[in-house]
Amino acid sequence: MRLVKRTLLIDISNSFTKAAVAVGPRIGRVHRISTSDLKPSALRTLAGKTKPDSVFLSSVVPTKNSAVLAAFPNTVVLGPHLDLGVGIDYPNPESIGADRLANAAACAALYGTPAIVVDFGTAVTFDVLSAKGSYIGGVIAPGLNAMTNYLHEKTALLPLVKLKEPKSAVGRSTIDAMLAGAVHGYRGLIREILSQITAEAFRKKKPVVVATGGDAKLIAGKLAIFDQVDPLLTLRGLLIIADKNTPASF
């Protein structure tokens, strides 16, 4: 019997799949694979030579789950049927994205409630936790890359830009102008949605606001409304749920 449990954590999102082996409470190196290229052999390589004691999967691309199950048949797929450590006050729990459940679990355990989690991915999602620690709903909006990619695809002269902090609010080149519109405009979108959620759902107590996802540092890092920026929030939540749903002895 091992002294420390090894858990393989896999998070399949629309663009990239992230995987890491957690040894006890510590998450190891995070590997990224294009979700379109996800194969059982690649997942076995990520797991390393030591067989994990358990495998937990968060997925928003159901057609790719078979690749994980082929590599690790005993994989536990995250869903509302598991002990999440948070309640669910939502009309159709099965329709909540697995990554959103993992984010809620991590936020409640690590940062407390009430809370709002903003996940900057292919789409940007806002997930709302009540003061009682229940998931009560959220907001879904286009991701930052979706906006810039759309401009490039639908116009003849606008290039595809690599997102970064703009030099100024007034662009003195086409690329600088696009960066200013994307980054400053997106911060405005985030600020307004957070303002509306807070005014409607949190009149008595200010929520903790946590950012995660690929564009979190770029966008949330310059917005004072965020209390935490945690790029590993989804994997942390997956590990917290894994610990709650596996035997103490293995």
What pLDDT was estimated at residue 158? 84
What pLDDT was estimated at residue 160? 87
| pLDDT digit string, tens, across residues 213-222 | 999 999 998 9
The structure tokens 């749920």 sit at 241
| pLDDT digit string, tens, across residues 192-206 | 999 999 999 998 899
Mean pLDDT computed over every residue of the chain? 93
Percent share of the chain, pLDDT over 90: 79
What pLDDT was estimated at residue 2? 53
> Is the pLDDT reported for residue 248 higher than 70?
no
What pLDDT was estimated at residue 145? 87
**Higher-scoring residue by pLDDT: 199, 44:** 199
Percent share of the chain, pLDDT over 70: 97
Active site (catalytic) residues? 99
What pLDDT was estimated at residue 249? 54
What is the CATH code for 6-77?
Answer: 3.30.420.40
